[in-house]
Amino acid sequence: MASFSFTTHVAAGRAVIRTRGYLSRTAGEQLEQEIVRMLGAGVSRFTVNLHDTDLINSVGISILIGVIERVRRQGGELAFSELTAVNEEIFRIMGLQRHAPLLRSDSEAENP
């Protein structure tokens, strides 16, 4: 599987995290640490752009569920954008769209 990486850009109080590669347990933990770090720095609105993430395994989904809950408990909001068809289907099967919006683009989060 492809290695995992991400970049973070913060503008207007929203962090956009663009992921690349296979989102597994290790990758999910890295993403979670970044979001926790950003929460600690005062950022409370997040968009995770999954355009370049071809596959998320079950443990990665589990970690994302925990991240959604953590952000919500702290009064924040988290959305996912630009999912591949496979990942969007996984999110819908797991019901994640009931807890975090699935957006076509990052700009949808800025202009709901």
How confident is the model over 69-108, as pLDDT tens digits?
Answer: 999 999 999 999 999 999 999 999 999 999 999 999 988 8
Question: Is 110 within a domain?
Answer: no
- Write down the pTM of the prediction: 0.92
Q: Tell whether 30 is covered by a domain.
A: yes
111 assigned to some structural domain: no
Buried b (16+ CB within 10 A) or exposed e, 45-81: bbbbbbeebeebbeebbebbeebbeebeeeebebbbb
Distance (Å, rounded) from C-alpha 37 to C-alpha 94?
Answer: 26
Residue 17 lies in a domain: yes
With a cut of 80, say whether residue 56 has pLDDT above it: yes
Number of domains present in the structure of the chain: 1
Gap between the Cα atoms of 73 and 44, Å rounded:
11
- Cα(85)–Cα(81) distance, integer angstroms: 12
Tell me, what's the pLDDT at 107? 83
Is pLDDT of 8 > 60?
Answer: yes
Reported as a pLDDT band with limits 50, 70 and 90, residue 52 is: very high
pLDDT beyond 70 at 2: no
Domain for residue 42, yes or no?
yes
Q: Which CATH number goes with the domain that contains 54?
A: 3.30.750.24
Q: How many CB atoms lie within 10 A of CB 29?
A: 13
Q: Which residue has the tokens 């702290």?
A: 74
Q: Is residue 85 part of a domain?
A: yes
The residue segments making up the domain with residue 31 are 5-104
